[in-house]
Amino acid sequence: MGDAVQAFLGSEKGLACILEKQGITVEGDFTRRSMEDLAFKDLNGKYYAMDVKTHNLDTNFNMPNLISVKRLAQFYRRDDNNVFCILIVSYKVEDGRLVYKDCHFKPIEAFHWDCLTLGALGWGQIQIANANRLLFHESDDIRRKRWMIELCDHLQTYYEEEITKIGERKSWFAETKGYWSGKSDAT
C-alpha cells in the first residue's frame, strides 16, 4: 500500500503537479538508500526532503521508522535551509478500494517527543511510537534548535539504557559459555 501511495504522489497528477503550479521545483528519482522519498525546493531556496509514510487505519498498531539520528543531524548541520518533513497518509480499504482519509505534512521537529521513540538500529532510529497516536507541537513556529537539543537529551538517556542492556547480555553469555565449557564433549 505504501508503494501505491508513493507512486501516486510521484505521478504527473500527484504532488509534483500541485507544487510546480506554485513555482516550486520538485525533485525525484531517489535510491532506496535515500532518506527522502520526494524532495522539493521552495521559492526561498529551502530544500524539503520528504519521507512518505502510510498508515492503515484498520490496524491497531504501527511503529514506522522515520530517520537515522545521525543522518538527521548531518542533514541539518550541512545547511540551515534543509528541512526534513514527514508526509503521513492515512487510508482504509473499503469495498476493495483504497480510500484516503487523512494526511499530515510536517517537519520532523513539529512532532512532539511524547509520540516518538528511539529504536536500536545503527546509531539510533527515530520512530513514531504508534501511528494511531500522533502528537504535534501546538505552534507552527517550532524551533529546530530546541527540538534537536531535546533529541540529544533523549539519545543520552537511550544510549545509557543500551549500555546497561549490553552489559546484561555480556554477563548472560559469559555464564552460558561457562555452562558449555563445563560440559563434556559427548553432548
In the numeric block, the cell 546484561 is attached to: 168
Does the pTM surpass 0.85? The reply is: no
Q: Which amino acid is at 30?
A: F
Residues 33-47 have a mean pLDDT of 83
Q: What is the CA radius of gyration of the chain?
A: 21
Residues 54-79 pLDDT 10s: 899 988 888 999 999 999 999 999 99
> What does the pLDDT read at residue 30?
45
Q: Is the CB of residue 28 less than 8 Å from the CB of residue 11?
A: no
Q: At 42, is the pLDDT very low, low, confident or very high (cuts 50, 70, 90)?
A: confident
Q: What is the pLDDT of residues 99-143, one digit of tens each?
A: 888 889 999 999 999 999 999 889 999 999 999 999 998 876 678
* CB contact set of 144 (below 8 Å; sequence gap of 6+): 76, 107, 109
